[in-house]
Amino acid sequence: VAADLAPFATGTDTGGSIRQPASFCGLTGLKPTYGRVSRFGMIAYASSLDQGGPMARSAEDCAYLMNVIAGHDAKDSTSVEKDVDDYVANLNATSLKGLRIGIPKQYFNVAGLDADVKARVEESLKKLEDMGAILVEIDLSMTESYVPTYYLIAPAEASSNLSRYDGVRYGYRCENPVDLMDLYKRSRSEGFGAEVQRRILIGTYALSAGYYDAYYVKAQKVRRLIQQDFLKAFETVDVIAAPSAPTTAYKIGADLTPVEMYLGDIYTLAVNLAGLPAINAPVGLDSQNLPVGLQLIGNYWSESQLLSIVHQYQQDTNFHTQRAAIAEETA
């Protein structure tokens, strides 16, 4: 989509995989409320977190795609029977006059937040304020729990979901296995990359006897506290603003440790843990001409509101029309 090879695309977002790529590539990307878009046909990673949604140049294009993909699907047990909005017709339905945007004080003091990213996001919030919105500082006290909670729950679900890829019915099958155990071991060792293997091992450990209550059950309890943290905030604000990622895009093959990679998800993970909708909007470029994204998080079933806010912002700016720079190879 960013290369103009397609007008829009669908993606799946388990912890930010629509919003972060959209941020890195200068696109608009919407992660809907959990259950709004059918998961039927998707390869399950973490079933309680996965959600499909649109990616496109603009909120308007995302709205057209949402009109097609949103709604109940009897083939998906997590799909919710709820009336679907006409997202295109509602693109100008939300008034920015008096719209209360929550600014979590914890989000803008995160270690590793790039100065350019922070500046572009703050500039976009000032623009929304000039358009009539009211910026309100809020407290999301569970922020430090996002990453450890997600990286217990998601790998635990993944270790179960990915167990079906054993080379018998699903997935890669190794050549010339000696016996059934060799088939299992080699198919999974050769077929899964290092990061997938790492997450399967973490998840299996968290679910194992003796650790289930200490890790997995505790993480689920913290997950509920994270959800309650958001719901309390929505009693005083309409949407919550944050960067979509603490940095702009890094080069393919960049030498990041797993922990550095996981911490890069801090702004997106909690939305999936709580099942809330959120959207990325391009808000400018950093000093390397790489796109920066603003994330707006809404209350349940507020996709129309999020699309409308971003659409009106895009009517008054041109950041969503800018093309991302391609990094030159360095020695």
Domains and CATH numbers, the chain: 8-142+237-321 (3.90.1300.10)
Angle, CA 169 vertex, CA 164 and CA 175 arms, to 5°: 105
Residue 7 pLDDT more than 70? Answer: yes
Question: Which pLDDT does position 208 carry in this prediction?
Answer: 92
Residue 176 pLDDT more than 50? Answer: yes
Rounded distance between C-alpha atoms, residue 256 and residue 263, angstroms:
11
Residue 330 pLDDT more than 60? Answer: no
Diameter of the chain measured on Cα atoms = 69
Residue 251 pLDDT more than 90? Answer: no
Please give, one letter per residue, the 3-state secondary structure of the chain. Answer: CCCCCCCEEEEEECCCCCHHHHHHHCCEEEECCCCCECCCCCCCCCCCCCEEEEEECCHHHHHHHHHHHECCCCCCCCCCCCCCCCCCCCCCCCCCCCCEEEEECCHHHCCCCCHHHHHHHHHHHHHHHHCCCEEEEECCCCHHHHHHHHHHHHHHHHHHHHHHCCCCCCCCCCCCCCCHHHHHHHHHHHHCCHHHHHHHHHHHHHHCCCCHHHHHHHHHHHHHHHHHHHHHHCCCCCEEEEECCCCCCCCCCCCCCHHHHHHCCCCCHHHHHHCCCEEEEEEEECCCCCEEEEEEEECCCCHHHHHHHHHHHHHCCCHHHCCCCCCCCCC
pLDDT digits (tens, 9 = 90+) for 183-192: 999 999 999 9
Question: Which pLDDT does position 331 carry in this prediction?
Answer: 43
Angle, CA 46 vertex, CA 237 and CA 238 arms, to 5°: 5
Average pLDDT over residues 71-96: 97
pLDDT digits (tens, 9 = 90+) for 16-25: 999 999 999 9
Q: Which of 185, 164, 183, 197 is nearest to 44 (CA)?
A: 164
pLDDT digits (tens, 9 = 90+) for 193-216: 999 999 999 999 999 988 999 999
**Mean pLDDT of the residues in the chain:** 95
Q: Identify the band that residue 57 occupies on the pLDDT scale cut at 50, 70 and 90.
A: very high
Structure tokens at 329: 């190879």
